Structure 1
Amino acid sequence: MSRTVTLVLVDPAGRPLGALPPYDVPEPWWQQAGSIVDGARHRHGVDVAVLRLLTADRPEPPGGHLTYLAEVAAPPAVPLAPATMDLAPHPLRAPWAEPGGPARSLAWATGELDRLGRLVTAVAQHRTWNLSAIWRLDGPDGSAWLKQVPAFFRHEAAVLRWLATAAPDTTPTLLAADDTGRVLLDHIPGDDRYVADPAERAAIAAAHHTLQRRAADDVAALVAAGVPDWRGPALARWIRDQLAPHDTAVVADLLGGLDDRLDQVRDCGLPDTLVHGDLHPGNVRGDGRRATFIDWGDAFVGHPAFDILRLTETLDAATAGPLLDAWAARWRADAPGSDPRRAVDLLRPVAPLRMAAVYAMFLAGIEPSEHPYHLGDVPACLKRAAALA
C-alpha cells in the first residue's frame, strides 16, 4: 500500500502559490513526511517543508489520496495547478504547521547545537502531524533529533529530565528543551523494535520494571514537574471528562463502576509510579546491546500495570502469560503482600477505556482537518473495553 499526495504550496508569508501534480510515495502512513519531501525534490525539483494535512479521500489511515500544505522558500520553476483551499487560521493549529513554523523551530535547534559546539550541515524532515513534528539534524559530531509536540504532551521534557538523572541508561539524551514543546535529543543507535519477539519483550519488561521501581519513590517530584497525576480517583474523573462528548453507551456499566474498580486496584498493594502510557515495542529503540525507551508524551503517574498490559495486548494468551507472570513476580518481590495479577485483571478493561480518553483528548486539542488521524480510535477503544469488562 502507498499514498498519492498533492502538495498545495505557500510561501513563508503564507501566500498560496498553487499545487504540484500528484505523485505516489511508498509509506502509507499519513504522518510520514520524509518520502513526501524526497518525492517533491526528485520529481519536481522543489524543496518543501510539509506543514499539515488538508484533506483525505478516506475516513482514516493508512493510504489513499492526501492533500498537504507545504512551504517553499520561493515560487518554484515547475508549473503549478490552481488550488482552492481553506487556509484560514485556526486556534488549535500546531505552531510547526504554520508557514515559518519549521524554520523557527530549526533555528532554535541549530542554535542549541551551536551552543554545544556541534555544527549542523544538513537537516531532514521525517514526520509531521497533530502529535509531533520530527526533524533530523546531521553534522560532523553526529546526529540529533528535533521533536516538537502540542501542549498536552509538553510534560515529555520533564520526564526526560527526570530520567536523565534517575535512569540515564534507559532514555534518550536530552540536549535541550524549551517551554513550547520542543526537545532536542541525541541520536540513538539501532531500530525501533516493532518486531520484538517474546524474549525481547521480556527483556523490555524487566528493564522497565527497574525504571518504575525507581520512579515509585519520586512520584511527588514527577507530579510537581508537570507529569499528569492519574492516580486512583483522579484517573476516573479524567476519563469521564474526556469521554463526555462521545457516545459511551457501550461502556456505561464500566464507567459507572470505575471508582469501585480502581479502589479494588489500590487494595492490590502496588505502588503508583511513572507510567510510559504507550509501551509497545515500537516505542523502544535498540541495537542488540541497549534498549532505550522513547516517546514519553503519553506518560503519567499512576498504576504500573498499564504498561505491561500495553506491552502484551497484541499477544495471544499463551505468549502473554509468561510475560505477565514474570512481571507479577517482580512486583510481589518488591511489594510483599501485593496481588499484581488481580490488579492486571481489574485494569484489563480500564486500559482501552483510558486509551479512548487519550484519543478523545487528542480530538479536543487538534484542528478539524486532522481529525481523520484519530476519529475511529475512540469507538474502537470503547468497543474493546466493553468486550473485556
Structure 2
Amino acid sequence: MGRTVTLVLVDAAGETLGALPPFDVELPWWQEVSEVVAEARARYGVRVTVLRLLSAANAAPPGGEVTYLAQVREPVEVALKPWDDNRDPAPLRAPWAVPGGPAASLSWAAAALGRGDLVAVQQRTWNLSAIWRLEDGGGEPVAWLKQVPVLLAHEATVLRLVAAAAPGLVPAVLAAGDAGRTLLAHVPGEDRYGAGAAFCTRVAADLHPVQAHFATRTGELLAAGVPDRRLSFDRFARVAEPWLDTVDGLAELMDELPARLAAIDACGMPDTLVHGDLHPGNVREASGRRVIVDWGDAIVSHPALDILRLTADLPEPDAAALIAEWAGRWRENAPDSDPETAAALMRPVAALRSAALYQEFLDHIEDSERPYHEQDVPERLHAAVTTAAQLG
C-alpha cells in the first residue's frame, strides 16, 4: 500500500503555478514527505518543500490518492496542470504550512547552530509537526529541527527536565525558539517499531526512575507548563457527549465512570510525568543504549497510562508479566498502593484519554487536516466501551 501523490505548486509569494502529474511513493503515511520530495526531483527536476495536505480520496490514512500544496525553489520547466488558487484563509494554519514558513524556520536553525553549511532534508509535515533532518556535507545527520503547534510546545521544556533527572535518556535540546521550534541533537540508532517484550521491559525500567522522581514534583512540572491531565470526569464527558447516541454502550460507561475514577484514586498511585505515547517506535536504540523520543504528548497524569500503551501490542502473557514488574517497582515507591488494580481499572480510561487527545488535536487544526484524526475519536470511544465490557 502506497500513495498516489499530486503536488500543487506555489511560488515564494504564494501564487499558484499549477499541479505536477500524479506519481506514486511507497510509504503510505500521509505525513511522511521525504519520498515525495525526492520523487518530485527525480521525475521532474523540481525541488519542492511540502507545505500541507489539501485533500485525500480516503477518509483517513494510510494510502490512497493524496494532494499536497508544495512550494518550489526555482522556476519549473515541466508542464503543469491548471489548478484553482489555494490562498484560502485559515486562522488555524500552522506557521510551517504557508509559503516561506519552512524557510524561516530553517534560517532560525542555521543561526542557532551557527552553521550555514548544513543540508536540510524534509522528513515530515502535518498538523502536529514539521520535521527536518540537518546533515553535513557528507550526508551525516547533525541535528533535527522540529516545529510543533502551541498545544505541544512544552516538549522542549519536558526534555530538559527529563535530561536533568536521567542524563542520556532523551535527545539533547540544542536550542528552543518561538513558533514551536526546537533543535535536537541527532540520536544514532533505529526506532524500534514492533519490538517485543524483552525490549519493552527494558524501556519500562528506564522510565521508572524518572516517573518516581517526578511523583513528588508535580508542582514543578505544572509550573513549567506541562499540561495538567490528571483524571477528570468532566474532560472525558465533554468528549463523549456528542457520541452518546451513536456509540453503543458509551452512555452506560460514562454513568459508571465516576465510580471507576474513585476506585483508581483509592489504589494510591501518585500522579507524575507521563510520556503520553510510549510505544517502541518512540524509542531509538544503538549499541544497547535507548533514547526515548517524541515527548510532545507529555502530561501530568496517572503512570498506568504509559505502561498500558507500552504493552498494548504485546501478547497477553507478556503484557501481564511486564505490568507485574512495573507494579513491583511502584510498590517500592508507594508501599500502600495497588498498582495492578489501578492498571486494570485504567484500561477503558486510557482509551477515553486517547479520544480526548484526538479531540484536542481536532480543535486546533484547519479543516483540510481533519482526516488525520477525525475517525480516531469515535474509534477510541468504541475501544473504551469494548474494553470495559471485557473487564466486566
TM-score by length of 1: 0.95
| Residue pair 2:239, 2:359 contacting (<8 A) in 1 also | yes
| Residue pair 2:230, 2:271 contacting (<8 A) in 1 also | yes
> Shift of residue 131 of structure 1?
0.7
Equivalent residue runs for 1:306-345 within 5 Å: 306-345=305-344
Q: Secondary structure at the match of 1:349?
A: helix
Partner deviation per Cα, 1:20-58 (whole Å, 9 max, x = no partner): 111111101110010000011000000000000101111
Amino acid at match of 1:124: V
Matched, 1:27 2:27: yes
Query: 1: distance between equivalents of 2:56 and 2:268?
Result: 48
Amino acid at match of 2:34: G
> Shift of residue 119 of structure 1?
5.0
* Alignment match, 2:39: 39
> Shift of residue 85 of structure 1?
5.1
| Residue pair 1:61, 1:373 contacting (<8 A) in 2 also | yes
Partner deviation per Cα, 1:91-119 (whole Å, 9 max, x = no partner): 111110011110011011111010xxx55
Query: 1: distance between equivalents of 2:89 and 2:163?
Result: 38
Amino acid at match of 2:317: A
Q: Secondary structure at the match of 2:254?
A: helix
Q: Secondary structure at the match of 2:184?
A: strand
Query: 2: distance between equivalents of 1:157 and 1:353?
Result: 26
Equivalent residue runs for 1:1-389 within 5 Å: 1-84=1-84, 86-114=86-114, 118=115, 120-139=117-136, 143-232=142-231, 235-247=232-244, 249-250=247-248, 251-389=250-388
Structure 1: which 5+ runs fail to align? none
| Residue pair 2:15, 2:85 contacting (<8 A) in 1 also | no
| Residue pair 1:135, 1:145 contacting (<8 A) in 2 also | yes
Q: 1:71 to 1:163 in 2, by over 3 A?
A: same
Of the structure 1 ranges 39-48 and 283-292, higher mean CA displacement relative to structure 2 is found in: 283-292
Amino acid at match of 2:99: P
Of the structure 1 ranges 162-171 and 4-13, higher mean CA displacement relative to structure 2 is found in: 162-171
Query: 2: distance between equivalents of 1:19 and 1:313?
Result: 42
Q: Secondary structure at the match of 1:179?
A: coil
Amino acid at match of 1:130: N
Amino acid at match of 1:98: V
Query: 1: distance between equivalents of 2:3 and 2:306?
Result: 33
Of the structure 1 ranges 358-367 and 43-52, higher mean CA displacement relative to structure 2 is found in: 358-367
Q: CA RMSD in A?
A: 1.5
> Shift of residue 243 of structure 1?
4.2
| Residue pair 2:16, 2:86 contacting (<8 A) in 1 also | no
> Shift of residue 159 of structure 1?
0.6
> Shift of residue 263 of structure 1?
2.0
Q: Secondary structure at the match of 2:295?
A: coil
| Residue pair 1:216, 1:271 contacting (<8 A) in 2 also | yes
| Residue pair 2:233, 2:257 contacting (<8 A) in 1 also | yes
> Shift of residue 209 of structure 1?
0.9
Tell me the number of residue pairs that the alignment of Structure 1 and Structure 2 aligns: 384
